[in-house]
Chains A and B, each alone.
Chain A
Amino acid sequence: MIAFDNVAYNYGGGELLSEVSLRLAPGSFHFLTGPSGAGKSTLLKLAYAELLPTAGHVTIFDKDVRSLGRNDVALTRRRIGVVHQDVQFLDHLPLAANVSLPLTVSGKQGNPRDLTDLLQWVGLGKLADALPPSLSGGERQRAALARAIIMGPDVILADEPTGNLDWEMSLRLLTLLAELNRMGKTILVATHDLNLIRQAKAQVAARVLRIRNRRIQLAGADL
């Protein structure tokens, strides 16, 4: 699905990531952890081509990101669902329109029934007409997850999806991600919440990756 081959990334002067190699196999579940500023968000941005590596190769669906034109990047992102910590919506559109935005921009006519089912699945069935500014942090995160999966993406990338949520809401979101993984979706979650990772291991067979000293490594039993 997505592969990093000896990837490095520089922000201005300093090197943030170095010699990063990893493969997200279809149907896999990965956590990516590390201290704040370690480069978790940067690695995710590299994985959906918002950033280009300064060295090495990032391959998305068997295509090197450097070979992708702007339209190719847009088409690729339709196969990748992204959930940000500071989830961004179009504040002038109601929740249902925001969630179905990936369908709208790709010219697809979504089934209203499917949209209703999806909103109910993430527990937002009664908030379809609400405007994003009126939603709580947890509601926004779940709406972001609904938007990320409405196109039936192959991969879901989540950057600190539980960062603004209480423990109960975090578990609920984790359960939704685990369900998606059981449906066959490839999932990568960046988080610094080790308790969440420990909790997840009871639900899914997840591998935990850690960024340390600019390099990525498989986390062991210390978690």
Chain B
Amino acid sequence: MKIMNCPLNGPRNISEFVYGGEVKPMPDMVNCSDKEWAEYVFYYDNTIRIVQEWWFHSPSGYWFIAERHTASDEILKTYDPSEIFKERIDFEVKAKPAQEVVS
């Protein structure tokens, strides 16, 4: 069994964790194009390097960040997201003008 070190709970079986995607800078969600947003949500570089990834410890409902080498699959470091994200991000939606319903 592979073991991952959860920053909150300590070493746990890898089956307790869920992958949550790469950590990437978020584009301006109000003004970016659909393509930019899709790239942010769905696409990854898939190169051999050390990546920063979101991981979720399911029994405690805790999200954290892991640094993993994509070739060796070795997990080098795990830490609380507060080390990177210092401020809360609010998703303010700009009101769009009402569209006419085409029947």
Are A and B subunits of one complex? no
